[in-house]
């Protein structure tokens, strides 16, 4: 088959017709214009009206959310497959609900199939037209009406023996268009309804038992692989970070000895610093015993034996022995803190050394 033909078949939904059968006591294939008995099961089953009930009910003064909760509860508590559709009812300030309930026998027999009520396909075929039809079907003559959005159907039996009596029983005006269909015409109608109805509309009018039709083991296997892969990845990432954390902890422990030693040294330095600060504070509390020790140091360095070193801040008396009194005087006079220096009294000889006394005038703090 060429690609263009394949695309055309998909567009026309001809492939779908090969997956559909009509059911009433037996399975029938939908040929172009006839029903053919078959023993081959199909995935999609068009169900005859004899195998389901159709009921209309009005829910006045309810919100859309409340209605959906009610319909959900009905579906969950039903033993059979059901299809529910609703439309707004302005007069009742609520909704009109149509419920199609398949027989339990049919539900059990075709639990893994998609079920489509035949009257819903008729509804799709006529769309918004007002119509009353009598169709010859494999299950018998079927009466069907669609007026003002509401559909009703029944088989020809008992008092309902003609289109006129059917119209009277449901209150349909006689001026509504009436159509009679042979069995071949009806097969063609169902074919055209399937081909011309959008997929979404077909889906909304179909029933499907998801729980019994899906292989949960196969479904689970679809995500087991990714889930296991994600688990392995997460475990690997966690193991890597645990390894890195352990390595970092080991490295930090190896530095612990050096860190402790540094902390001890810092503590010792801090104590020494504190001691120095305290000593400096003590020195600041007491003035120097003498502010002119440099003079005495210089004289001793030049060979003088000092016997007396006294005086005040501005005057100092220096007495003692030296090899040369004049040399001592010259050196002392050059000191920056000495303003003037002179002998006090004569210089005497004591053996080979000079004995003398000097009076020094020291530069004051404000004069420096």
7 pLDDT band (50/70/90 cuts)?
very low
- What is the Cβ-side half-sphere exposure of residue 31, based on CA atoms within 13 angstroms? 8
- In this prediction, residues 25-54 reach a mean pLDDT of 86
Q: Verify that 165 and 260 share a domain, yes or no.
A: no
d(CA 222, CA 73): 30
Write out pLDDT tens, residues 117-127: 999 999 889 88
331 pLDDT band (50/70/90 cuts)?
very high
Q: Do 193 and 22 meet the contact criterion of CB atoms below 8 Å apart? A: no
Write out pLDDT tens, residues 211-231: 655 554 555 555 666 777 777
Q: Verify that 32 and 171 share a domain, yes or no.
A: yes
Q: Token pair for residue 114?
A: 């998609």
Q: Verify that 93 and 49 share a domain, yes or no.
A: yes
Question: Among 214, 229, 244, where does a domain finish?
Answer: 214
Query: What's the order of all strands across the beta sheet hosting 131-137?
Result: 150-155, 140-147, 131-137, 177-181
What CATH number does the domain containing 306 carry? 3.30.1360
Question: Among 263, 284, 305, where does a domain finish?
Answer: 284
- In this prediction, residues 298-302 reach a mean pLDDT of 88
Q: Verify that 162 and 95 share a domain, yes or no.
A: yes
**Strand, helix or coil at 80?**
coil
User: Exposed e or buried b for every residue in 331-361, given b needs 16+ CB within 10 A?
Assistant: bbeebeebeebeeeeeeeeeeebbbbbbbbe
Any idea which residue has 């015993």 for tokens?
A: 289
- In this prediction, residues 23-50 reach a mean pLDDT of 86
CB atoms within 10 A of CB 70: 15
Question: Among 284, 306, 328, where does a domain finish?
Answer: 284
> Measured between alpha carbons, how far is residue 292 from residues 43, 250, 331, 360 in Å?
123, 64, 15, 11
Write out pLDDT tens, residues 265-279: 888 888 877 766 775
Domain that holds residue 190: 3-214
Q: Verify that 207 and 133 share a domain, yes or no.
A: yes
Evaluate if residue 330 carries a pLDDT over 70: yes
d(CA 3, CA 12): 14
Mean pLDDT of the chain, nearest integer? 81
Closest Cα to residue 33, out of 182, 173, 196? 182
Any idea which residue has 């119209």 for tokens?
A: 167
d(CA 123, CA 126): 6
Q: Verify that 177 and 112 share a domain, yes or no.
A: yes
Predicted pLDDT of residue 213: 55
- What is the Cβ-side half-sphere exposure of residue 4, based on CA atoms within 13 angstroms? 0
pTM of the model as a whole = 0.54
Q: Verify that 333 and 250 share a domain, yes or no.
A: no
Alpha helices in the chain (DSSP H): 3-12, 14-17, 64-77, 104-109, 118-126, 163-170, 183-196, 199-204, 210-213, 216-254, 256-285, 293-301, 325-333
368 pLDDT band (50/70/90 cuts)?
low
Write out pLDDT tens, residues 222-259: 566 677 777 787 888 778 878 887 787 777 777 777 77
Cα 334 to the chain's mean position, in Å?
90
Any idea which residue has 């801090």 for tokens?
A: 270
Q: Verify that 27 and 41 share a domain, yes or no.
A: yes
- In this prediction, residues 330-354 reach a mean pLDDT of 90
Q: Verify that 9 and 114 share a domain, yes or no.
A: yes
Closest Cα to residue 338, out of 320, 308, 317, 319? 317
Count up the domains in the chain and report the number.
3
Q: Verify that 177 and 50 share a domain, yes or no.
A: yes
Q: Verify that 209 and 225 share a domain, yes or no.
A: no
Q: Verify that 46 and 141 share a domain, yes or no.
A: yes
């Amino acid at each position: 088959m060429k690609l263009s033909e394949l695309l055309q078949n998909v567009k026309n939904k001809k492939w779908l017709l090969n997956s559909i059968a009509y059911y009433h006591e037996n399975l029938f294939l939908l040929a172009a214009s006839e029903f053919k008995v078959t023993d081959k099961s199909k995935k999609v089953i068009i169900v005859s009206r004899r195998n389901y009930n159709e009921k209309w009910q009005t829910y006045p003064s309810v919100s859309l959310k409340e209605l959906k909760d009610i319909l959900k509860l009905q579906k969950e508590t039903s033993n059979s497959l059901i299809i529910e559709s609703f439309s707004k009812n302005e007069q009742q300030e609520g909704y009109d609900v149509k419920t199609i309930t398949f027989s339990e026998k049919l539900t059990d027999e075709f639990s893994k199939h998609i079920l489509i009520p035949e009257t819903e396909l008729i509804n799709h075929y006529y769309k918004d037209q007002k119509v009353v039809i009598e169709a010859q079907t494999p299950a018998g003559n079927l009466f069907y009406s669609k007026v003002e959005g509401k559909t009703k159907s029944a088989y020809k039996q008992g008092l309902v023996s003609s289109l006129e009596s059917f119209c009277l029983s449901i209150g349909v005006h006689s001026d509504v268009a009436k159509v009679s269909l042979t069995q071949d015409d009806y097969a063609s109608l169902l074919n055209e309804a399937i081909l011309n109805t959008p997929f979404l509309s077909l889906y909304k009018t179909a029933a499907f038992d998801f729980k019994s039709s899906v292989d949960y083991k196969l479904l689970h296997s679809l995500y087991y692989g990714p889930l296991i892969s994600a688990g392995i990845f997460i475990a690997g990432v966690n193991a890597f970070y645990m390894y890195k954390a352990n390595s970092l902890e080991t490295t930090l422990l190896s530095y612990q000895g050096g860190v402790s030693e540094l902390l001890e040294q810092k503590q010792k330095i801090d104590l020494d610093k504190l001691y120095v600060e305290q000593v400096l504070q003590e020195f600041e509390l007491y003035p120097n015993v003498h502010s002119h020790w440099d003079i005495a140091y210089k004289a001793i360095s030049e060979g003088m034996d000092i016997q007396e070193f006294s005086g005040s801040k501005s005057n100092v008396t220096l007495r003692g022995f030296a090899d040369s009194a004049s040399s001592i005087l010259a050196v002392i006079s050059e000191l920056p803190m000495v303003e003037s220096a002179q002998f006090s009294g004569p210089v005497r000889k004591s053996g080979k050394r000079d004995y003398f006394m000097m009076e020094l005038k020291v530069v004051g703090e404000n004069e420096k």
